[in-house]
Amino acid sequence: MTLIFFLFAGTLWATHKNEVSSMNEKRVGKRTIALSHPPSVISYANIGGRQEAEGPLSSYFDELSDDSFFGEKTWEKAESTMQKKVVQRTLDQAKLKPGDLDYICAGDLLNQCIGSSFGLRDFGIPFYGLYGACSTMGESLSLAAMLIDGGYARYAAAVTSSHFCTAERQYRMPVPYGNQRPPTAQWTATAAGCTILADDGPGPYITHVTCGKIVDRGISDVNNMGASMAPVSVKLTPSKYNAVCGLVSTHHSLQQGGAKGATVMGTHNTNHLK
């Protein structure tokens, strides 16, 4: 009996030691993970509103709408419709069905992530609701990539949306109130994006994931998000800044059929919640 116990304990210790060794092989510093089986981007799509159509990035959108309600009766329903449309477009481009996706990681700026949960409920896909504010797309891509790298999924989708009017009602003043906007006020994008990752594909690939830290300098003005987010940028070292720029170059490479690796980074600022 004693011999069996020691054999069992020895097996547990060996298993634990192997798991720790495997984890240490993936860790690069305190916040970065090197994925041993980098997932590939196989499909992506986005949708934007009227302001986005007038902006400098308009040519990068797959669909643009002059109707801020997107055919719905409320702005919250409009945001859900954006998510539904963009996921379906991404699935169609990848020639996949909703049942082919193992997980969908999605988020928005609304309470209880209702933009995501109501928009994606009819797909019947296992769902992780996320809230990372401006880092939600980075967060969803990171978690989807780790799910695939860990062998828990073959296909996973990362989805994020926001809507100017829903965000104003959530955090500042409802748009119909007609309050005067100060010079420092920003415009939340009316847009949604989706990317499908797979365990195999032509690339580009997500090779590393870096988890951001909360940087709080006490900026509490909800109409000055630029000042609230600026300290995060100061914290970026040149190498991390280059990694962020690498995401931009990867996007351009993707537009031209290239296959590069990328690091996904996310930073979360909570000053606007004070």
Q: What is the pLDDT of residues 66-100, one digit of tens each?
A: 999 999 999 899 999 999 999 999 999 999 999 99
Three-state DSSP class for residue 235: helix
CB 119 within 8 A of CB 83: yes
Over range 187-201, report the average pLDDT.
Answer: 94
**Size of the chain, expressed as the number of residues it contains:** 274
Q: List alpha helices for 69-194, DSSP H.
A: 75-94, 114-120, 136-149, 164-171
pTM score above 0.85: no
Q: What count of other Cβ atoms lies within 10 Å of the Cβ of residue 200?
A: 10
Q: Could you give the CA distance from residue 44 to residue 62 in angstroms, rounded to a whole number? A: 10
29-273 folds as: Peroxisomal Thiolase; Chain A, domain 1 (3.40.47)
Give the CA distances from residue 271 to residues 5, 216, 217, 231, in Å, rounded to whole numbers and listed in that order. Answer: 53, 6, 8, 11
Q: Could you give the CA distance from residue 209 to residue 247 in angstroms, rounded to a whole number? A: 12
Q: Which tens digits make up the pLDDT trace of 199-217?
A: 999 999 999 998 888 888 8
